[in-house]
Structure 1
Amino acid sequence: CEMASPINFNQFLEKEKLKSNGSNFTDWFRHVRIFLSGGNLQYVLDAPLGDPPAETETDEVKDVYETRKTRYSQVQCAILCSLESDLQKRFEHHDPHELMNELKAIFETHAAVECYENMNKELPELFGMLKAAEIEIKKEHQVLMVNKTTSFKKQGKSKGKFKKGGKKAATPPMKPKNGPKPDAECYYCKEKGHWKRNCSKYLADLKSGLVKKKKEGMEHWTAVKNILKYLKRTKDMFLCYGGDQELVVSGYTDASWNTDPDDSKSQSGYVFILNGAAVSWASSKQCTVAKSSTESEYIAASEASSEAVWMKRFIVELGVVPSALDPLIIYCDNMGAIANAQEPRSHKRLKHIKLRYHSIREYIEDGEVKICKVHTDLNVADPLTKALPRAKHDQHQNAMGVRYIKM
C-alpha cells in the first residue's frame, strides 16, 4: 500500500508549519498523526527503519525493505516540509522516528508549561475569555425563580405520629427576666417597686370582680384573619430574574415621616433591582427623629447610598455587569432631599443632622452614586415604608419582580 496523496499531504503541512519556538507543537503533532493514520503510515513514527537485509536474504525480503525505505523517505520529506527553515537545517539528516523523538523531547515540556500557565490565569482574565467566546452563542432568556417559603409535604396517616423512644429536642434555657426597678411606679396603685401584675391591690380587686381582664374583640379576630389570609395569598410568590437585555443596577429609596406615634420616628425603605427583580432591599425605622419629611427622605437616601456603594464594589469584582463602573443611580421622589444630597456645603437647617448621614455627598462627589428624581407613583420602594392601596401595591410588587407562580 503506497502513501495516499503525498502531494496534498505536503501542501497541508506547509500551511501548518511547526514554529521554531514550538508554541504550536501540540496541534502540529496531532495533525501529523492524523494524516499518517489516513495513509496507514503511523508505524513510521513508532519504530525506526532498521538495518538492511543481508545479501543471503531472498529477493522478497529485500523488496519489502526497499518499499519500507521509500515510505520512510516520503514521510521524512513531508515532515521536513512542515518545519520552519531553522528546524529543517537542524533535522535534515534524521530519519522520521528519530526526528519526531527529538522534537518531542524539545517541545513537549514547553507545551506542558504553556498549558499550565494558561490554567493559572487569574479569574477576571479567564472570565473575559469566556465572555468573548459566548458572544457567538445564541441563548434564550433564562428566568431564575426564588421562593423564601419552606416547602414540606404532609405524611398522610403518619401525620402527628412520633417514634417512641426517640431523642427529644433540647429546649434552650430561658434568659432570666429583670425585675422592676426600685423606682418603677405601678400605675394602678401608684406605689413603687412592683408591676401591675404583681400589685396586691390589683389582684384583690380582680378577684372580687371590681376590674375585668380585657377580652379579645372582633377587631382582634379580624386582624388575625387578615394575617392568615396574607400568608396564604403570598405562599406562591417567587422572585423571577431574567428578561432584561442589559444588566443594569438601579436603586429606589423612600421614607414615611413620623410613622411611629410612640417615638415620632420615620420609616426608611430602599430596594435595588437587577435583571428584572430585587437583589437587595430593606425596611427599617430610622434611628433618629426627623423634623420634616425632607429630612427623613435625606436620611433614607443616605442609608441607601451606603448599600449602593457596597453592592457596586462587589459587582465590579465579579465583572458580570458591564455598566458597574458607571455611577449607580438611586431614584428619590423628594426634590428637597435630592438638593441636600447634591449640596457640598452644610447650612443652618442641616446642622442638627448626624454627620454619618452626610456620607451620600461624598459618594456623589466621587462618582460612586447618582441621585435622580422619580415620580411618587413610580417609586418602587414606596410599599416598604407604608401601607398602600391594593392596585398600587401590586404595581410596585410587579416592579420588584415578585410573581404568583403555581407549582
Structure 2
Amino acid sequence: MNPFSTILEKNTLTGPNFIDWLRNLRIVLNSEKIGYILETLVPNPLPEGATELQQTTFRKWEEDDMQTRCYMLASMNNELQRQYEKMGTAKDILLHLQELYGEQSRIARYEISKELFRTRLTEEADVSVHVLKIINMIERLENLDFSMDANLQTDLILQSLPDSFA
C-alpha cells in the first residue's frame, strides 16, 4: 500500500469535511501522478480507426480514472460509497460532491467572514484575546480555501481596534 494512502484512511469523507478531504485526496493523487484526472475533461470515445497512440492514451486515462475512483470511494464513509460507487467517472463524483458540499463551505466562509469584518474590540476587552480571535477566524477561512495576504490581515486587525489605539 502506498504510504500516502494512509492520509486518506485518516481523513474519511463524511460530507462536511469535504474541503479537507479533497486537499488530502489531491496530495495522494499527485503522489501517484494521476492528479490530472480531477482537472481534465473526460475524453471523448475513440473514433473508428483511432491510432495506436490514441488508443494507448485513452486506455491510460481509463486506468488512471479507475484508480482515482478507487481512492475516492475507499476514503468515503459507507453511506457515501453506496451513493457514488456506480457513478461513471472520478470527475463526475467530484462535481457532484462539489455541488453538495461546496455550498456548505460557501455558507461557512460567508458566516466567518461576516463575523471577522464586524468584530470590534471594546475599550475594556483584552487586546491579545481579541487579536487571537481574529487570527483564529482568518485561519478558519484559510481552511475553507479563502486566503488573505498579510497586509489585509494586519489591516483587519488594526481596523477592529477602537479609535483610542490610534
1:203 — aligned with what? none
Alignment of 1:39-188 (within 5 A): 39-94=32-87, 95-119=89-113, 120=115, 127=129, 130=132
Q: Percent of aligned pairs with the same residue?
A: 24
2:6 — aligned with what? 11
Per-residue deviation, residues 252-304 of structure 1 (Å, max 9, x unmatched)? xxxxxxxxxxxxxxxxxxxxxxxxxxxxxxxxxxxxxxxxxxxxxxxxxxxxx
Tell me the distance in 2 between the aligned counterparts of 1:82 and 1:71: 17
Report the aligned-residue RMSD. 3.1
Q: Is the 8 A contact 1:33 1:42 kept in 2?
A: yes
User: Per residue, is there more helix in 1 or in 2?
Assistant: 2
Q: Is the 8 A contact 2:5 2:28 kept in 1?
A: no
Structure 2, unpaired ranges of 5+: 136-166
Give the letter aligned to residue 20 of structure 2.
D
Tell me the distance in 2 between the aligned counterparts of 1:65 and 1:14: 30
Alignment of 1:169-208 (within 5 A): none
Alignment of 1:7-406 (within 5 A): 7-20=2-15, 22=16, 24-94=17-87, 95-119=89-113, 120=115, 127=129, 130=132
Tell me the distance in 1 between the aligned counterparts of 2:77 and 2:42: 25
Aligned residues: 126
Q: TM-score, normalised by structure 2?
A: 0.62
Tell me the distance in 2 between the aligned counterparts of 1:57 and 1:86: 40
Q: Is the 8 A contact 1:48 1:98 kept in 2?
A: no
Per-residue deviation, residues 225-252 of structure 1 (Å, max 9, x unmatched)? xxxxxxxxxxxxxxxxxxxxxxxxxxxx
Per-residue deviation, residues 78-100 of structure 1 (Å, max 9, x unmatched)? 01111111111111122111111
Segments of 4+ moved more than 6 angstroms: none
Tell me the distance in 2 between the aligned counterparts of 1:86 and 1:48: 27
Q: TM-score, normalised by structure 1?
A: 0.28
1:156 — aligned with what? none
1:8 match: secondary structure: coil
User: Per residue, is there more strand in 1 or in 2?
Assistant: 1
Tell me the distance in 2 between the aligned counterparts of 1:79 and 1:116: 28
Q: Is the 8 A contact 1:9 1:78 kept in 2?
A: no
Q: How far is the alpha carbon of 1:128 from its aligned partner? A: 6.9
Q: How far is the alpha carbon of 1:31 from its aligned partner? A: 1.9
Give the letter aligned to residue 107 of structure 1.
Y
Q: Answer with 1 or 2: which has the greater Rg.
A: 1
- CA 1:68 to 1:115, structure 2 compared with 1: closer, same or farther past 3 Å? same
